[in-house]
Chain A
Amino acid sequence: MGKEIIAMLLAGGQGSRLGVLTKTIAKPAVLYGGKYRIIDFSLSNCINSGIDTVGVLTQYQPLKLNSHIGIGKPWDMDRINGGVTILSPYLKGEVGEWYMGTANAVFQNMHYIEKFSPRYVAILSGDHIYKMDYSLMLDYHKKNNAEATISVIEVPIEEAGRYGIMNAFEDGRIYEFEEKPKHPKSTLASMGVYIFTWEVLREYLVRDSESRESDHDFGKNIIPMMVRDNRRMWAYKFKGYWRDVGTIQAFWDSNMDLVKRVPVFNLYDPAWKIYTPNPVKPAHYIGPGGSVKESLVSEGCMIYGTVWNSVIFPGVCIEEGAVIKDSIIMSDSRIGANSHIDRSIISEKVQVGNHVEIGIGEAVENELRPEVYNSGITVIGARACIPDNTRIGRNVMVDAEVSREDFSSLWVPSGKSVFKGGESE
């Protein structure tokens, strides 16, 4: 028997504006919210919505994602019929072929979809933080007898130009789609969440694959083509928390949303849990001199210092006298005694020495990557080592794997970058 609906989860996003956070991992694999990776939200949404068959399309730096997802056990997707399957680009006959776009990625895996002969296919993005019941969207799709339903969210009119905007009639039927319009006619932005009637999508995927000019992208090609053909397309309004944590600032903001007294985004709802592989670590410990306020702290942490308005991932050790403020500290990092960290993102397995100061002084845009590091947040890459007594300014980027010897001076002013062996990107 075929499945009513299966999902194709696009997890190839490079997330280049997340800078060093996505140096060795794809955007969906970036750590978020004290124990999760970004992709956990879409995967958990699937299983919580009753979708138990998910193809995950990976391309960019897939190693971390592959090991994270495994056979899908944490999401209860280790199934006999269906479950989660990682779909990487592969060789066909003589030549290998990368995914040329989101639509092409799905097109190349049509045989995977056909195997389940689904009536509907959900196309999802693994890049976003949100909780959504796709089954309600499917009900809406069926009720309208639609061929495509596109989930949309209201955005402020002044920001609408950054999104794909759906122009719809009163009843929700879409008559026009504009990608990043200069003069937006509506404020309904596409969330990159689609439900298609599979027969119809298949036809368009095949047509798109034959076009030489196409970018083979859902937003740029498939949706406009369907609008032009006047297919039955509906906009499904989503109300709730949805963030594209695509920039350092947006990523930081969304993490900080979680520490509010009544968070706008609730991770504690027993009816809609977010699943992730659990670290095998004991419950965390707050020392006699420790103090934690307005923060999230995960398993295996040892906190002897002060933590304020921060998100602390599993296995982090914060030594005595250290003060962490408005920061994100990712798994298994250690912050040395009496070090002060302000408005910074410290990646996984970073060693910060004693008496280190990070995030001090004026905010000056990063000299090399101003488009990435410009909101005053300093970012330290995974497995970097920061020597004792180092002082680091704002909008600084310290590359992954940087060792103590790579610091030519113990003073890194705002806007500078530190690279491994002095290499440049």
Chain B
Amino acid sequence: MRNTMGIILTGGQKTGLKELVQIRTSSALPVGGKYRAIDFVLSNMVNSGITNVGVITQYSFRSLMDHLGSGKEWDLDRRYNGLFIFPPYLSDSSSGWYRGTADALYNNLTFLKRSNEEYVLIAPGNCVYKMIFDDLLQYHIQHRADITVTYRDMSDFPREELSLFGIMELDGSGRITDFQEKPLNPSTANGSMGIYILRRELLISLLEECAAHGDYDFVKDVLIKKLGCLNIFGYRFGGYWRNMSTIPVYYRCNIEMLDPRIRNELFMENGKVYTKVKDEAPAKYNREAEVKNSIIADGCIIEGCVENSVLFRGVTVAKGAVIRNSIVMQDSRIGENACMEYAIVDKNVVIREGKHLRGEASWPMIVGKNAVV
């Protein structure tokens, strides 16, 4: 896919993620023991041969910038092309704040204009999935589409979460006939994954038109408005996919990685997932360790009991501590005889001796970054 450039959108504040996104954008959420959400789309792009990638940021992007660095972990520290990061900026024509996706893209029109790839792939940064985009491009070209939108059958999400998606209807040829953004009563389970492919020239003219009308949202003001006059097609994706938009989905996604089939799909098939390295020593298990059905990252030191959980790098679990159905992020320390069930413990938290934390499977308890409990 040498003729395609990538744009990753990491804007949009996901209020459904509560404390977890106070300090970081949802694309920077830690997942799977050592990754951040954006690693998946970045690796997908790199594995598809895309070498010109722009990341558009908006909310609390410090941790995202820190994570991405020069892009060398994704082999994107290139002399020509590579990784570009676009935070909001102030100028005569820019308010210093992106009002929506189209506005964000329009403000970085220079990047689009300066690039010379024929196609642009636009994707959100906060989704966990593994996909090679070549088939999508092939499909787009075959159907002579103007825009192709990737969707999947979202029936594996609870019904109440369906109405958080853009829901679409398609005709027999695959053309999108109706698109509703976050409908109260979804008519189908065909949810948009927020991944679009189109010609770069077309995108530029659509964005210029949008800006001329004072519009700013790509879905509302471009996709939906142009359904009648452009060939907009849907491309069905059959694999695992989760968007980090609410606490329950975030929690579920991490726990689902304990399933060997999902782990296999995400990490073994269709290329590797790259992330920033931390140079931790291997995980160390002491005599009292009892670990079952869990993902454990490097640098952990475990003396307690861990079940059905995900432990990120450098977590220590003291003797007698019990961690069940929980997610514990980097460098947190769980004290002796502490006990937690259905909890999400953010980075660098200290859970003192004998403390008990308990959430619900449908709404896990959250302990914010750097907290001492």
Contact = CB atoms under 8 A, between A and B. Distances in A.
User: Do they bind each other?
Assistant: yes
B157 interface: no
Interface string A292-315: 111111110010000100011000
Interface in A273-309: 273-276, 278, 280-299, 302, 307
Given A278-B277, A282-B263, A283-B34, A261 B298 contact: no
A259 B284 contact: yes
Interface of A: 33-35, 74, 258-259, 261, 267-268, 273-276, 278, 280-299, 302, 307, 311-312
21 contacts: A34-B282, A35-B282, A261-B286, A268-B281, A268-B284, A278-B277, A282-B33, A283-B295, A283-B311, A283-B312, A286-B291, A286-B292, A289-B292, A292-B289, A293-B286, A296-B282, A297-B285, A297-B296, A298-B283, A302-B260, A307-B285
Contacts of B272: 280
Given A34-B282, A284-B296, A302-B260, 15 more contacts: A35-B298, A74-B279, A267-B281, A280-B274, A281-B267, A282-B32, A284-B295, A285-B263, A286-B291, A293-B285, A294-B287, A295-B284, A296-B282, A299-B34, A299-B298
Nearest to A262: B286
B285 A282 contact: no
A286 B296 CA distance: 8
Counting chain A CB atoms within 10 Å of each CB, the highest count among B263, B281, B282, B291 belongs to B282
B290 interface: yes
B293 interface: yes
B285 A285 contact: no
Interface string B31-47: 01111000000000000
Given A282-B273, A293-B285, A294-B285, A268 B295 contact: no
The 8 closest A-B pairs by CB, nearest first: A283-B33, A34-B282, A267-B281, A283-B297, A278-B277, A298-B282, A296-B282, A282-B267
B297 A299 contact: yes
Interface of B: 32-35, 258, 260, 263, 266-267, 272-274, 277, 279, 281-299, 301, 310-313
Interface SS of chain A: loop
Contacts of A281: 267
B295 A285 contact: yes
A292 B291 contact: yes
A268 B287 contact: no
B299 A268 contact: yes
A302 B267 CA distance: 13
B300 to A, nearest CB: 9
Contacts of A35: 281-282, 298
Contacts of A286: 291-294, 296
A299 B301 CA distance: 14
A294 B286 contact: yes
A31 to B, nearest CB: 12
Nearest to B282: A34
B33 to A, nearest CB: 3
Contacts of A282: 32-35, 263, 266-267, 273, 295
B298 A298 contact: yes
Counting chain A CB atoms within 10 Å of each CB, the highest count among B33, B285, B310 belongs to B285
B283 A296 contact: yes
Contacts of A276: 279
Given A275-B279, A283-B298, A286-B294, A295 B32 contact: no
B287 A293 contact: yes
A200 B263 CA distance: 59
A296 B300 CA distance: 10
Contact of B289 (A268, A280, A283, A293): A293
A280 B34 CA distance: 11
Given A297-B296, A299-B298, A283 B285 contact: no
Contacts of A33: 281-282
Contact of A268 (B32, B266, B301, B312): B301
A312 B281 CA distance: 12
A307 B260 CA distance: 20
Counting chain A CB atoms within 10 Å of each CB, the highest count among B286, B310, B312 belongs to B286
B311 to A, nearest CB: 8
Contacts of A258: 284
Contacts of A284: 283, 295-297
A285 B281 contact: no
A298 B299 CA distance: 9
Nearest to B301: A268
Nearest to A286: B291
Contacts of A295: 284-285
Contact of A274 (B258, B281, B287, B311): B281
A292 B296 CA distance: 12
Contacts of B281: 33-35, 267-268, 274, 296
Contact of A292 (B260, B285, B297, B313): B285
Contacts of B277: 278
A296 B287 CA distance: 12
A290 B258 CA distance: 13
A296 B298 CA distance: 9
A104 B221 CA distance: 74
A362 B291 CA distance: 33
Contacts of B282: 33-35, 267, 296-299, 311-312
Contacts of B32: 282-283
Contacts of B267: 281-282
Nearest to B311: A283
A291 B290 contact: yes
Given A295-B285, A296-B284, A283 B291 contact: no
Contacts of A278: 277, 279
B240 to A, nearest CB: 14
Counting chain B CB atoms within 10 Å of each CB, the highest count among A258, A286, A299, A312 belongs to A286
Nearest to B275: A280
A386 to B, nearest CB: 24
Counting chain B CB atoms within 10 Å of each CB, the highest count among A283, A285, A288 belongs to A283
Nearest to A304: B260
Nearest to A277: B277
A273 to B, nearest CB: 5
Given A278-B277, A282-B273, A299-B298, A288 B293 contact: yes
Counting chain B CB atoms within 10 Å of each CB, the highest count among A280, A287, A288, A291 belongs to A280
